Amino acid sequence: MVNLSHRLPKSKQLADSIVDDKTDISVVSGTYKNCDNVFVIGYNEFDGIKRTKSSSDIENSTKEITDDLISYKSSSGMYEEAWWQITVQVGIPFLIAGMGTIVSGVILGRVEHWDVFKLIPELFILISPLAGLKGNLDMTLSSRLSTQANLGNMLNFKNIFDMVIGNVALVQVQATVTAFVISIFALLVGLLQSGEFQIDHALLLTTSAVFTATTSCFFMNFVLAAMIVISNRYNVNPDNLATPIAASIGDLLTVILLSFSTFILHQYLSSHLWVTYIMLACFFLLIPLWTILILKNRFVRPVLKSGWLPILLAALISGLGGIVLKSAVEQFTGYVVFKPIMNGIGGNLVSVQASRISTMLHQTTQPGIMPTGQKIFELPWKALIYGTPYSKAARIFLIMSIPGQVLFIFIADFLHMSKSTIGAPFVFSYIIAALVLLILLLYIAHVLIHAMWKFKIDPDNSAIPYLTALGDLFGSCLLLAAFTFLRAIGHEYDP
């Protein structure tokens, strides 16, 4: 998909009253009711002007836009990117992302033997949903900003500044509240499994979770925003670049900050427990400030009300993956080394695909209206190999994942063991599990995003959290199945 923003004039903004009065706040573009009238708020890529149409003009307007887009396709290349462009633009971040997941796995392989992780095993339950939350918040932010960049709405400093500050404030609120909920979930699971509850352990777990989520998100949000602005400036599709970087570096930052914060707090837990109270109080006292910034920002104000369900449900799904991780760690000592690679690569690639599909839908039609010839449920062959506008990218991602995964697991094994110890049975079992995971996620992405679009739910805000959470859960289960199979045939990975 060619980025059209450099060809567009500065966009004219609708009055806030029109956006504020709409009843469907889950999306900005779409069909809305204001008092007794029905409006379509849409973006015209050809002149960069946002327009409002009455209900009598909806059907004709949609047909005109569709016809214009079809006739414009051959001259602009709007729908098509050459395979090598997709490969290069995704491949470089994919390799960087892979290195991030490798380092995350190696670090986990080291810290699992620390006293604090042995003393508070609920930390293993916390890792998956917390890393998933961090990735979800960063990737939804990058997806929102990438869509706005591709629509030509990030062409002046004021728009860029407002979008970035508003999104950073939104993510801080979501990170604080959801990290607290995740820590409560981990404590409850630990209580049910062990029957014990210690207030100092609970405070350490909660404080570390909130600190890790808010700090890593704050840093990464500005990095991602700068990356999107720069890539947009040089006509590189930010959908291909920002999302995998957000996922991989997010995982690495989460593991580092969680390990660091738990280690430091555990060192002074008995004598300085009051520090955890002060840290938690500071994080929650900042929420009103962030909320004020959000309510004054028209770009993210609707998301504050509509963006919670995907984040919270995704955290719950990732929490189930955390339970699988805790169980696997007790059975297989090398499991944590490869878990971030399995889940991270699958999540990275499906997030890129989700962002690309969402951007294309925003560029070609209105929420609630399916593009011509496209359906929610397609045959897997058509959705992933040949037959839809998105199948080319899916096909490239599937092919790219095989040599990438092989390279990453050999590097991770060497870094963890200081020598190569894996053989053909391990590689075969791992690659089969990784391919099954990626096929599942890419097809679910196709169905989920088109279903959301049909029901006027903005996939930029909602799709990626579900997809990465399912990736955490399915990936953890598939990797556990691979390790169990290797043990059964006498080729267990035994570092």
State how far the Cα of 355 lies from the Cα of 362, in Å rounded to an integer.
11
pLDDT score, position 12: 38
pLDDT score, position 192: 84
> Per the structure block, which two tokens stand in for 44?
């015209």
Q: How confident is the model at residue 448 (pLDDT cuts 50, 70, 90)?
A: very high
pLDDT at position 439 over 90:
yes
Q: What is the pLDDT of residues 124-139, one digit of tens each?
A: 888 878 877 877 788 7
Which of 129, 219, 106 minimizes the C-alpha distance to 472?
A: 129
Q: DSSP assignment of 328-393, as one string?
A: HHHH-TTHHHHHHHHHHHHHHHHHHHHHHHHHHHHHHS-TT-PPTT--SS--HHHHHTSSSTTHHH
Taking residue 200's Cβ as centre, other Cβ atoms within 10 Å add up to: 14
Taking residue 256's Cβ as centre, other Cβ atoms within 10 Å add up to: 16
The amino acid that residue 367 corresponds to is: P
User: β-strands 30-34, 37-43: how paired?
Assistant: antiparallel
> Per the structure block, which two tokens stand in for 427?
């590689």
pLDDT at position 370 over 70:
yes
pLDDT score, position 49: 36
> Per the structure block, which two tokens stand in for 162?
């407002």
pLDDT score, position 65: 43
> Per the structure block, which two tokens stand in for 296?
């004054």
> Per the structure block, which two tokens stand in for 378?
């397609």
Identify the three-state secondary structure at position 359: helix
DSSP conformation class of 214: H
pLDDT score, position 34: 39
pLDDT at position 250 over 60:
yes
Q: What is the pLDDT of residues 69-92, one digit of tens each?
A: 434 333 333 446 777 777 777 787
Identify the three-state secondary structure at position 26: coil
Percentage of the chain modeled with pLDDT above 90: 26
Over the chain, what is the mean pLDDT? 79
Enumerate the domain spans of the chain.
Answer: 5-76, 83-488
Mean pLDDT along residues 456-463: 86
State how far the Cα of 263 lies from the Cα of 407, in Å rounded to an integer.
32
Contact 112, 336 (CB under 8 A): yes
pLDDT at position 238 over 60:
yes
Q: How confident is the model at residue 243 (pLDDT cuts 50, 70, 90)?
A: low
pTM beyond 0.85, yes or no: no
pLDDT at position 144 over 60:
yes
Mean pLDDT along residues 262-268: 87
> Per the structure block, which two tokens stand in for 185?
């979930």
pLDDT score, position 247: 63
Average the pLDDT over each of 137-141, 348-352, 451-455 and give the range with the smallest value: 137-141
State how far the Cα of 241 lies from the Cα of 231, in Å rounded to an integer.
8
